[in-house]
Amino acid sequence: MNVLVLNAGSSSLKFQIIETDLDRISNHKDDRICRGEVERTGGEAIITFQYRQQPKRKLTASLRDITAALDYLVRFIASDDSGVEEIRSTADINAVGHRVVHGGERFTESALIDDQVLSGIEDCIDLAPLHNPNNIKGILAARELFGKNTPQVAVFDTSFHHSIPEYAFLYAIPYHLYRRYRVRRYGFHGTSHRYVAFCYRAIRGLTREQTNIITLHLGNGCSAAAIKQGNSVDTSMGMTPLEGLVMGTRSGDLDPAIISLIAAKEGLSASDVETMLNTQSGLLGISGLTNDMRELQSELKDHEDRRVRLAIEIFCYRARKYIGEYLAAMGGADAVVFTGGIGENSPDIRARICQNLEWAGLKIDSVRNHEMVGREGLISTDDSRLLAYAIPTDEELLIARDTVRVILGQPHPS
C-alpha cells in the first residue's frame, strides 16, 4: 500500500510516501519512496523533494494555500520529471495518513477519518488553535484531490498519552475549569515517544509490559515521557506544548505569576506574553543568539560566551531534573532513551544531561556515546543499572504504519 503521510502546518506541508503493509511492518521492510516539504505557501513557495537516496531537489512555484500545495506536489510526483516510477497518477496513492496535533480526550488512538472524526478534530480546535485548523485543511485538501474513496487516517500527537492517570494529568486549579474547559495535561510528541519505546523493546527483545523507560525527545520542541509497562504515565508538555523542558524557542516550566508581571511591565497582553514564551524564549531567549543547538555548541567552541554556556547548562539541567522526577514517579526505570535532532546527534548534550546520575546507576560510555550519532544503540557502560540509548525517531513511519493498521482493522501493537 502506498501511503502518503502529510504534516500540514500554517504555511508548510511536509510529506513522505511510504510503501508498507502488514507483512512489511512485521519484517521492518517498509519502503520510503520519496519525501520533502513545501514551505512558504501563500506566496512563492519553495518545494524540497527527494526521491529515494537521490540528491535533494529544490523547486519554486506560486502556491496560494495547502490545497494548491498538495495538488502541485502530487502532480509533480506523478510526472516524468520527478523520476518517481512507483507513482504515475493519484490512483497509485492508496491511503493518506495525517499528523494531527490535538486529539483531546476523545481520540485515544489513531482513527479512520469520516465526517464524525473530522468534526471531533474540529471540536479540539480550542485546545490547539494554531495547529488543528491546519491539520483539518490538510485533510480537506486530500479529500478533494483523492476523493472520498481513498481512506485517510488521523494519527494524533496526544493519543499515546491517554493512559496518564488523573493525578498526573490534572493541574491543581479549581476543578470546574477542567469540567468546563478540559484544562488538563495532554502531552504531545506521542508518536515519537511511542515509536522509540517500540524500537527500544525490539532492540532488547522485551514485551510491551516489560518496557519501563524515560524517553527524551530533544528537537526544536522538547519533551520527556515516563513510560511504564509500555504506557505513558506522565509527560512534560501540558495543555499546550509550552510546558516542561527548555526548548529552542519555548521557555518550558515557569511560575505562572511571571506572565502578568511581564504583561504589566512591558505593556503587553497575556496572549502577547504567551507568544513571547513560545517564540522568543528557551535557548534563543537565554543566549540572545539562536534557537539552534548546533550553532550554540559551535559558538561555545569558538568563543567563551557566558549566555551561550548558560543556555546549554539550563537546557541540560532541566532535562536531568525531569529524569529524576520520573524515576521517582515510576519507582525506577530500566533505561533513558534519547531522540530528536539533539538527542540523536549530540553526544555532548547527552553526556551533560546524564552528569551526576551515577547515583541512579547511569554512567555514559564515552566511546559508545560518540559512536551513536544518527543511529540507534546503547550509550551507557556495561555496569550501568539504568541504561541509556540513542534511538532515531521516525514519526512518519509510525503514521504510515498506523494508517495501514487502522484501514485493515488491526489493533495497535504498541
Residues marked active site are found at: 157
Report the residue from 34, 340, 392, 405 that binds ligand ADP according to the rule CB under 6 A.
340
Binding range to ligand ADP, per CB under 6 A, among 36-44, 194-202, 260-268, 335-343: 335-343
Q: Is 139 or 216 the residue whose CB approaches ligand ADP more closely?
A: 216
Q: Is 72 or 186 the residue whose CB approaches ligand ADP more closely?
A: 186
- Indicate whether 97 belongs to the interface with ligand ADP (CB under 6 A): no
- Indicate whether 337 belongs to the interface with ligand ADP (CB under 6 A): no
Decide if 40 contacts 12 (C-beta within 8 A). yes
Binding range to ligand ADP, per CB under 6 A, among 15-23, 36-44, 180-188, 338-346: 338-346
Spatial separation of the C-alpha atoms in residues 285 and 251, rounded to whole Å? 8
Report the residue from 11, 108, 220, 381 that binds ligand ADP according to the rule CB under 6 A.
220
Spatial separation of the C-alpha atoms in residues 121 and 23, rounded to whole Å? 31
Report the residue from 120, 219, 241, 282 that binds ligand ADP according to the rule CB under 6 A.
219
**What does the block give as the cell for 45?**
513557495
Q: State which of positions 253-292 bind ligand ADP (CB under 6 A).
A: 292
Contacts of 233 (CB under 8 A, 6+ apart): 163, 164, 165, 168, 226, 227, 329, 330
- Indicate whether 293 belongs to the interface with ligand ADP (CB under 6 A): yes
Q: Is 152 or 345 the residue whose CB approaches ligand ADP more closely?
A: 345
- Indicate whether 241 belongs to the interface with ligand ADP (CB under 6 A): no
Q: Is 346 or 380 the residue whose CB approaches ligand ADP more closely?
A: 346
Handedness of CA 218, 223, 227, 231 (dihedral sign): negative
- Indicate whether 3 belongs to the interface with ligand ADP (CB under 6 A): no
- Indicate whether 221 belongs to the interface with ligand ADP (CB under 6 A): yes
Q: What are phi and psi of 84, to 5 degrees?
A: -80, 100
Spatial separation of the C-alpha atoms in residues 74 and 144, rounded to whole Å? 12
- State the minimum distance, in angstroms, from the CB of residue 297 to ligand ADP: 6
- State the minimum distance, in angstroms, from the CB of residue 92 to ligand ADP: 28
CA distances from 243 to 274, 338, 395 (A): 11, 19, 21
**What does the block give as the cell for 354?**
546524564
Identify the CA nearest to 8 among candidates 33, 38, 34, 44: 38
Q: Is 345 or 403 the residue whose CB approaches ligand ADP more closely?
A: 345
Decide if 4 contacts 70 (C-beta within 8 A). no
Report the residue from 159, 191, 346, 384 that binds ligand ADP according to the rule CB under 6 A.
346
Contacts of 97 (CB under 8 A, 6+ apart): 3, 4, 5, 6, 152, 153, 155, 399, 400, 402, 403
**Distance, first Cα to last Cα, the chain:** 21
- State the minimum distance, in angstroms, from the CB of residue 396 to ligand ADP: 11
- Indicate whether 345 belongs to the interface with ligand ADP (CB under 6 A): yes
Tell me how many residues contact ligand ADP (CB under 6 A).
13
Spatial separation of the C-alpha atoms in residues 313 and 156, rounded to whole Å? 32
Instruction: State the amino acid at position 413 in one-letter form.
Output: P
**What does the block give as the cell for 249?**
524557542
Instruction: Name the residue with cell 535557548.
Output: 283
Report the residue from 248, 282, 285, 392 that binds ligand ADP according to the rule CB under 6 A.
248
Q: Is 35 or 184 the residue whose CB approaches ligand ADP more closely?
A: 35
Q: Is 6 or 386 the residue whose CB approaches ligand ADP more closely?
A: 6
Residues that bind ligand ADP (CB under 6 A): 219-221, 248, 292-294, 297, 340-342, 345-346
